[in-house]
Structure 1
Amino acid sequence: MTSRRVIVAGGLSALTFIGAGGRAADMADWPVASPESQGINKVALDGILDPAKILNLATSLYTLRSLVVVRNGFLIEERYYAGSKASTLRNIASITKSVSSILVGIALEQGKFRSLNQTIAELLPEAAARVPTSAVNGVTLAQILTQTGGFPDDRQSDTRGLEPQVLDVPLQPATPPVWRYSSAAVSLIGPILARAVGRSVEDFARASLFSPLGIGDYDYDWRRDAIGHVRSDSGLRLRARDLARLAWTMVDGGRWRGRQVVPAQWVAESTRRHIALGWQVGPMTNIDYGYLWFTGMLHGRVVNLAWGYGAQFALMVPSLNMVVVTLADAPGAKELAKQAAEVMGLTAQIVELAG
């Protein structure tokens, strides 16, 4: 068994950060500022992010690999642990769903959808015609975005292809609608988007979102399903700072460096509560669901959250003009809840320094 001492020593030697000790390489793509210039006590921040604390096996924080803090549009802190670095692509897991929500909003603004009330039968007519009696054909795009389409919990969607596994799945409808987390349902957004915009989801994302944000072709990787399409529910790999770009763009009303990339109305609509959940994760309370985004309260402030398996967090605090991104290794299933609570607790400590 590897000792705590070995892991901490290895983490210290592998640590990269833009605080004390210098800037990480390749900072030209973000305006950088010191924590103090943006109202953050650097000594306190260094204490929170002390690698001896982060890599302590007594907590789940030892799984943390990347952390980025943005305030007022400036990158003020960036740290990497246990071999990760600024250029490392990390699997953001179900944060991919929030990226898919952004793409739906852009396509809606471009007139590619008539409304969110369009059904699968309208959006995927050829595929729906092959399973004409499927109840899935009546599910709307809005129901997919809010996870209220009646799909059973989280069936995988990439083993047999789109039509046999997802379009013909037995639904569990309920009145009023019941929230069930279904990656299978969200996997339908991929083919829906591709048909609506007339090109692959990856091409659309590159032209409409990634390129405007300065995310280059080698700055991401996207897992594909069994029939070769990028997955809209999971599997996007990004650098931590590029996930922070996406999150900051949402905080800034859909703008990146003054350019409107995501429609402002979609930013507001997708991050507000549509479905009440009432969850709590560590200090984040009153967690509800928007259009593939979570929303809640953190120490009295409204926050929005893109959340992926294993404490992949992009936390947005609009009232403080602040973003905190964490990317981590997923622990064993029994430790997931503890990990999420502790990483959220760490994030909350950082946010409190701004308040």
Structure 2
Amino acid sequence: MTKLHVPVSLAIALAAIPAPVTAQPVDFAAVDASIEAGDFEQVTSVVIWQDGEILHEAYYAGDAETRRNTRSATKTVTAMLVGAAIGEGHLDSVAQPLFPFFADRGPNLYPDPRKQAAPIEDFLTMSSLLECNDENQFSRGNEEKMYLIEDWAGFALDLPVRGFPAWEPKPGDRPYGRAFSYCTAGVTLTGAMLERATGESLPDFARRTLHEPLGIAEPEWQFAPLGFAQGGGGAGYRSRDLLQFGRLLLGKGEVDGVRVLPADYAEAMVTPKAQVMPGFDYGYLTWLPTFEVAGEQVPTYAMNGAGGNRVTVVPGRNAVIVITTENFNVRQPHAITDRLLTEHLMPLLD
């Protein structure tokens, strides 16, 4: 395991990220030993930041420069980029319809005025009316079916409108008036929309509006077969880069006095907009779970990715915890991360 002995890049230095403490607190030794012993399967890094300093930084595979494939944590970055596009005037607001950005493609399958009118906010909240559910293998919009074809944007545009049988409540009968359905294709389409709205590739726009202001190194992007960057997942970031995204959520669009996202948009990102399940809400491509820690209910914001990869923001503790893993073929990887987070890491925060 590597701890705090890796070089820090110039980009990180310019971002004025607080240097790690030179001596690891004794409290973290037991956690490190447990992770190294495989008690949490294949955790690859942990970074804990609180009140302006890094309390703990440990690498159990790779080092500080290793790009971590955090899968769907990229979705939260895409939501941030929507905010940046609004801030620069490329988009009017989240109320702007998304489908008209693809009008040059001609009619899509299952034409419906509700598809044409669907606002960007519906895609940010995983609540568009497209029949798309990654948790249902029979869904026409299931993510795995998208990867079988060349035109990923067309895949999403051609989806039919979702139906609501009698045993399933309609959006208007649910909290926040939305029906949550986890849909990677919709976020992929949102990333493609951003390229059309801004006139820049997603990597170029992200570099200019997010990465450079935050001191984030160029990630390893995934690309669709037709060439546009995948906003729905798979970008590889360093663990410290993920920390910066968490700090951006914590600071409501501002880090170290630098305003990166419009304040009202950043606030909306972490405000409940849809309900995943009772007691578990969702903002703009950002999870809003509340955990029980030592008998206390602790609200958090989170960037989540497959394998239990997670950036957890604990606003009540002014803290950010980054956990990266390679638990992609492990049963219940998110539960493993939950256990590490709530039983071992969050109790160590002041």
Using the size of structure 2 for normalisation, the TM-score is 0.84
Is 1:137–1:167's contact at 8 Å kept on the other side of the alignment?
Answer: no
Is 2:71–2:306's contact at 8 Å kept on the other side of the alignment?
Answer: yes
Equivalent residue runs for 1:131-150 within 5 Å: 131=108, 133-135=110-112, 136-150=115-129
Question: How far has the Cα of 1:141 moved from its partner?
Answer: 0.8
Partner residue of 2:327?
330
Q: Give the letter for the 1:351 counterpart.
A: M
Partner residue of 2:53?
74
Partner residue of 1:343?
337
Partner residue of 1:11?
none
Q: Give the letter for the 1:295 counterpart.
A: L
- Distance in 1 (alpha carbons) for counterparts of 2:245 and 2:300: 15
Determine if the alignment matches structure 1 residue 17 to structure 2 residue 3. Answer: yes
Q: Give the letter for the 1:54 counterpart.
A: I
Question: How far has the Cα of 1:170 moved from its partner?
Answer: 1.8
Determine if the alignment matches structure 1 residue 160 to structure 2 residue 154. Answer: no
Partner residue of 1:122?
100
Is 1:249–1:256's contact at 8 Å kept on the other side of the alignment?
Answer: yes
- Distance in 1 (alpha carbons) for counterparts of 2:26 and 2:246: 26
Is 2:222–2:229's contact at 8 Å kept on the other side of the alignment?
Answer: yes
Question: How far has the Cα of 1:162 moved from its partner?
Answer: 3.6
- Distance in 2 (alpha carbons) for counterparts of 1:44 and 1:35: 15
Question: How far has the Cα of 1:340 moved from its partner?
Answer: 1.5
Relative distance call for 1:119 and 1:47 in structure 2 (3 A) is: same
Identity of aligned residues (%): 25
Partner residue of 1:34?
21
Partner deviation per Cα, 1:186-239 (whole Å, 9 max, x = no partner) = 11111211111121111110100001111233xx11000010111010111000
341, 350, 353: which one aligns with 2:348 = 353
- Distance in 2 (alpha carbons) for counterparts of 1:161 and 1:139: 21
Question: How far has the Cα of 1:26 moved from its partner?
Answer: 1.9
Is 2:110–2:159's contact at 8 Å kept on the other side of the alignment?
Answer: no
- Distance in 2 (alpha carbons) for counterparts of 1:212 and 1:181: 30
Question: How far has the Cα of 1:108 moved from its partner?
Answer: 1.2
- Distance in 1 (alpha carbons) for counterparts of 2:153 and 2:316: 43
Is 2:47–2:57's contact at 8 Å kept on the other side of the alignment?
Answer: yes
145, 162, 171: which one aligns with 2:161 = 171
Question: How far has the Cα of 1:76 moved from its partner?
Answer: 2.2
Question: How far has the Cα of 1:322 moved from its partner?
Answer: 0.6
Output the aligned Cα RMSD.
Answer: 2.1
Partner residue of 1:196?
197
Partner deviation per Cα, 1:161-205 (whole Å, 9 max, x = no partner) = 145411111221443142110101111111211111121111110
Question: How far has the Cα of 1:56 moved from its partner?
Answer: 3.4
Partner residue of 1:269?
268
Partner secondary structure for residue 17 of structure 1: coil
Q: Give the letter for the 1:311 counterpart.
A: G
Q: Give the letter for the 1:76 counterpart.
A: L
284, 289, 299: which one aligns with 1:296 = 289
Q: Give the letter for the 2:322 counterpart.
A: V
Determine if the alignment matches structure 1 residue 246 to structure 2 residue 224. Answer: no
- Distance in 1 (alpha carbons) for counterparts of 2:54 and 2:213: 18
Partner secondary structure for residue 220 of structure 2: strand
Question: How far has the Cα of 1:288 moved from its partner?
Answer: 1.3
- Distance in 1 (alpha carbons) for counterparts of 2:22 and 2:59: 17
Partner residue of 1:84?
62
- Distance in 2 (alpha carbons) for counterparts of 1:98 and 1:87: 21
Relative distance call for 1:116 and 1:211 in structure 2 (3 A) is: same
77, 92, 101: which one aligns with 2:79 = 101
Partner secondary structure for residue 123 of structure 2: helix
Relative distance call for 1:215 and 1:119 in structure 2 (3 A) is: same
Is 2:217–2:241's contact at 8 Å kept on the other side of the alignment?
Answer: no
Using the size of structure 1 for normalisation, the TM-score is 0.83
- Distance in 1 (alpha carbons) for counterparts of 2:163 and 2:249: 32
Relative distance call for 1:35 and 1:275 in structure 2 (3 A) is: farther
Is 1:250–1:262's contact at 8 Å kept on the other side of the alignment?
Answer: no
Is 2:45–2:324's contact at 8 Å kept on the other side of the alignment?
Answer: yes
Q: Unaligned 5+ residue runs, structure 1?
A: 1-14, 280-285
Q: Which moved more, 1:253-262 or 1:94-103?
A: 253-262
- Distance in 1 (alpha carbons) for counterparts of 2:110 and 2:300: 41
Partner residue of 1:9?
none
Question: How far has the Cα of 1:42 moved from its partner?
Answer: 2.0
Is 2:90–2:197's contact at 8 Å kept on the other side of the alignment?
Answer: yes
Question: How far has the Cα of 1:132 moved from its partner?
Answer: 7.2
